[in-house]
Structure 1
Amino acid sequence: MALSFPSDFLWGVATAGHQNEGDNVTSDTWFLENVTPTVFQARSGKATNGWELWESDLDLVAGMGLNAYRFSVEWARIEPVEGEFADAALDHYEAVVDGCIARGLAPIVTFNHFTSPHWFAKRGAWLDESAPELFARFCGVVLDRFGDRIRLAVTFNEPDLPEMLTWAGLPDFIADLERQTLEAAARDAGVEKYRAGNVMLREDFAGMRAGMTAAHLAAKKAIKARCPGLPVGLSLAMCDDVAAPGGEEIRDRKRAEVYDYWLRLAAGDDFVGVQNYERLHYGPEGLLPPAPDAVVNGMGTAVDPASLRGAVEYAHQVSGVPVLVSEHGVSTPDDEIRAGFIEPSLEGLSAAIAAGVPVLGYCHWTLMDNFEWIFGFGPQLGLHSVDPETFARTAKPSAGVYAELVRGIRSATA
């Protein structure tokens, strides 16, 4: 099947500050990694040392023939103390933006990729009534510095993830350990309630959702006030949920509980980000196991390239706005699976576009193996491997496959 994409399509890779930069010491996640007990299986430490190696990392992206790079600006670095903004951090991120442009890469900037400042978590994070105003102020400071050079602005990364994880069948001890982690953090920080975006208690879901909703709207207003033409959206974690005969009610209930609220909110935005990793089949009794001969990913579900098209089409169906594939990939140590997964996934995306879904771009997750939150450095989703001692990046075969596909597509539409 020939792959057909618009000539202005954004081809990129996605990364995240805390997962790559290292030494994000004034963040809530760093604090949670270092309390006892903690749900984090490892500490991020230097991560992939991306704070120092950002220029050569951009060279990797450009060297693959891509034209976009999604990354996050770390609020904890820019505002390490409430009300005090660090020029050095702003200088750094401005240099990254300018480095993207110098290499022909459109900067796609995420303003909250799960992590926030330690001081913000001490206030209760998104449960705090001042959270929307504080987040909007931070976004405004960033926009004042280099907003004129950003291509797309993503306010939040996967604000629907807590609800999605309630459908993931995680063992009870994980929720118990998350609670113990937050209790230890509150104790060590000397506050009644320490809250964070990537370790969340079920009883806080409604309040956190309300806070993030208000913060998204306030941030969008602040961004548009400074750069009216800059497209703004948020990115959602989205499985492709499929109903086997009799499974329609369960599939639809999951969609309603996890995605639909945010997709309806995105209807007022310029685009919605879709972050897709799996297709799940539901029968009348619930989630169906993968076929006995299925190739499975690190989550134990079947690797199915058709999942991307399904997730993108559903996101557009409900939101009515253009879609950015802000993340897509597969967790596996077997790079042959990853390398073989990319082209059929893009075939499905091309078919969705041909069917009328407006898609702005595709960002593969991720440029390199990195710190995968509570799972530490175990999961492998990168197009490059990273030496844990020297931080040397080594391209996997999948990086070459992706690069070759993109070069072919871009040359055909040039």
Structure 2
Amino acid sequence: MPASPFPADFLWGVATAGHQNEGDNVDSDTWFLEHVSPTVFREPSGRAANGWELWESDLDLVAGMGLNAYRFSVEWARIEPADGEFSDEALTHYEALVDGCLARGLAPIVTFSHFTSPHWFAKRGAWLDAEAPALFARFCGVVMDRFGDRIAIAVTFNEPDLPEMLTWADLPAFVTELERATLEAASRAAGVERYRAGNVMLPEDFPAMRAGMTAAHLAAKAAVKERRPDLPVGLSLAIVDDAAAPGGEALRDRKRAEVYEHWLLLARDDDFVGVQNYERITHGPDGPLPPEPGATVNGMGTAVEPDSLRGAVEYVHAVSGVPVLVTEHGISTPDDAIRAAFIEPSLVGLEQAIRDGVPVLGYCHWTLMDNFEWIFGYSAQLGLHSVDRETFERTPKPSAAAYAAAVRARRAPAEVAAAAATEA
């Protein structure tokens, strides 16, 4: 078999998120925002993919693909639906999920905040509230006390850099206006001065929100480490592979400084940093360059570029100096043939990064199945399985088999090498 840079303990997984998969997350800020008027959300999440009920068969899908890791989030709003009141039912559910992973040979990668927060927390101003870091750390401590001894990796925050990144996405002005109108409607409906959320932010709040999430990450990490000093803790970042055409270096570097630098410097004191990569953008002197004529494009309108994963992880490690965990990587497209063809060359690029010295702990594809994609509702498809919106039946796409085959080819040489080393 060919030599592989992936060690036998490399984590091969898929990533999901509670609100996007579970359904009926009624005590969350996002659920509340989905139901005010006007709202920036295209449609409400409803039952999502009904993952709250179908979690066992979903884990069977993951194990059936030959993977050894599963990334999911614990929903703060389910566990603490009211300030200081913790749900034993929700904790029991997530504990069963962790144990279900272990029973199937899957390392549980647990995200503590995947954009959503409790409704009561949003009424306080979310990450603008001075007590937010302590409240988040309290929640993380409760989770750790219940089943923290059995999880493999802890991710405090999912993409806290996304608001700044979206300022570079050239979104129409009406999107920002509708976000503002959504929060104003939510504030009125909740009877508070400022209803705030982690996935709908106002530009003037960015600095204070960033400061609040930074303090919350540090407080959460301390709570986790207090209970398990050995548990790897980090956060995951949205990372575009920003390239530069001649004359575009200054623009690329300014984006990196505005969007990523704060978090990558913070991550220098963490055990790893999560990379979530979906595209490459090439900057010219006057802005991003359009795709080449005839190029295959993704749902964001940028060219499909499998090598963007290599570029993203190399950049992140160069700045942070810590190991990388690919916590999300995928492609938004209704054409699964594009997704299936995208996986193998992406992993070839990741192999090259590892050979060039980047310590990579694992790779999680986004996502196990088509789900609720935030303000876009159910219009975007990124799953390895389709989901019937009425029956919730999961159907594997060709990309699921393509990913399983790519992993199988890489796990086998690593496991053979590990066995040989043990015998020696």
**Do the structures match in fold with TM over 0.5?**
yes
* Equivalent residue, structure 2, for 1:341: 342
**Alignment of structure 1 residues 8-407 onto 2, 5 Å:** 8-407=9-408
Specify the code of the residue in structure 2 equivalent to 1:151. A
SS at match of 1:267: helix
SS at match of 1:153: strand
* Equivalent residue, structure 1, for 2:419: none
SS at match of 2:404: helix
Identity percentage of aligned residues? 78
SS at match of 2:406: helix
Q: Give the deviation of 1:405 after TM superposition.
A: 1.2
Specify the code of the residue in structure 2 equivalent to 1:172. A
Specify the code of the residue in structure 1 equivalent to 2:414. T
**Inter-partner Cα distance in structure 2 for 1:94 and 1:107:** 11
**Inter-partner Cα distance in structure 2 for 1:234 and 1:334:** 31
Q: Give the deviation of 1:2 after TM superposition.
A: 6.6
**Inter-partner Cα distance in structure 1 for 2:120 and 2:41:** 20
Q: Give the deviation of 1:3 after TM superposition.
A: 5.0
- The one-character-per-residue Cα deviations of 1:81-120 (angstroms, maximum 9, x if unpaired) are 0000000000000000000000000000000000000000
Specify the code of the residue in structure 2 equivalent to 1:412. P
**Inter-partner Cα distance in structure 2 for 1:378 and 1:5:** 35
**Inter-partner Cα distance in structure 1 for 2:251 and 2:356:** 27
Specify the code of the residue in structure 2 equivalent to 1:114. F
Specify the code of the residue in structure 1 equivalent to 2:232. P
Specify the code of the residue in structure 2 equivalent to 1:68. A
TM-score for both structures, normalised by structure 1:
0.99
- The one-character-per-residue Cα deviations of 1:217-240 (angstroms, maximum 9, x if unpaired) are 000000000011000000000000
Root-mean-square deviation (Å): 0.7
Q: Give the deviation of 1:4 after TM superposition.
A: 3.3
SS at match of 1:46: coil
8 Å CA contact 1:153–1:233 kept in 2: the answer is yes
8 Å CA contact 2:291–2:303 kept in 1: the answer is yes
**Inter-partner Cα distance in structure 2 for 1:366 and 1:101:** 20
**Inter-partner Cα distance in structure 1 for 2:210 and 2:406:** 38
TM-score for both structures, normalised by structure 2:
0.97
Specify the code of the residue in structure 1 equivalent to 2:32. F
Specify the code of the residue in structure 1 equivalent to 2:346. S
4+ long deviations beyond 3 Å: 1-4
Q: Give the deviation of 1:7 after TM superposition.
A: 1.4
Q: Give the deviation of 1:146 after TM superposition.
A: 0.5
**Inter-partner Cα distance in structure 1 for 2:253 and 2:3:** 33
8 Å CA contact 2:3–2:413 kept in 1: the answer is no
8 Å CA contact 1:161–1:237 kept in 2: the answer is yes
Q: Give the deviation of 1:5 after TM superposition.
A: 1.1
- The one-character-per-residue Cα deviations of 1:282-302 (angstroms, maximum 9, x if unpaired) are 011111000011100000000
**Inter-partner Cα distance in structure 2 for 1:297 and 1:193:** 36
8 Å CA contact 1:276–1:329 kept in 2: the answer is yes
**Inter-partner Cα distance in structure 2 for 1:380 and 1:82:** 35
8 Å CA contact 1:22–1:47 kept in 2: the answer is yes
SS at match of 2:291: coil
Q: Give the deviation of 1:409 after TM superposition.
A: 1.2
Aligned residue-pair number: 414
**Inter-partner Cα distance in structure 1 for 2:324 and 2:7:** 13
**Inter-partner Cα distance in structure 1 for 2:213 and 2:3:** 41
* Equivalent residue, structure 1, for 2:414: 413
8 Å CA contact 2:157–2:217 kept in 1: the answer is yes
Specify the code of the residue in structure 2 equivalent to 1:210. A
Say if 1:247 and 1:2 are closer, same or farther in 2 by CA, change over 3 A: farther
* Equivalent residue, structure 1, for 2:418: none
**Inter-partner Cα distance in structure 2 for 1:348 and 1:408:** 15
8 Å CA contact 1:3–1:346 kept in 2: the answer is no
Specify the code of the residue in structure 2 equivalent to 1:191. V
SS at match of 2:276: strand
**Inter-partner Cα distance in structure 1 for 2:180 and 2:19:** 22
SS at match of 1:264: helix
8 Å CA contact 1:273–1:325 kept in 2: the answer is yes
**Inter-partner Cα distance in structure 1 for 2:368 and 2:105:** 17
**Inter-partner Cα distance in structure 2 for 1:148 and 1:355:** 34
**Inter-partner Cα distance in structure 1 for 2:359 and 2:401:** 27
Specify the code of the residue in structure 2 equivalent to 1:328. H
8 Å CA contact 1:3–1:347 kept in 2: the answer is no
**Inter-partner Cα distance in structure 2 for 1:17 and 1:356:** 34
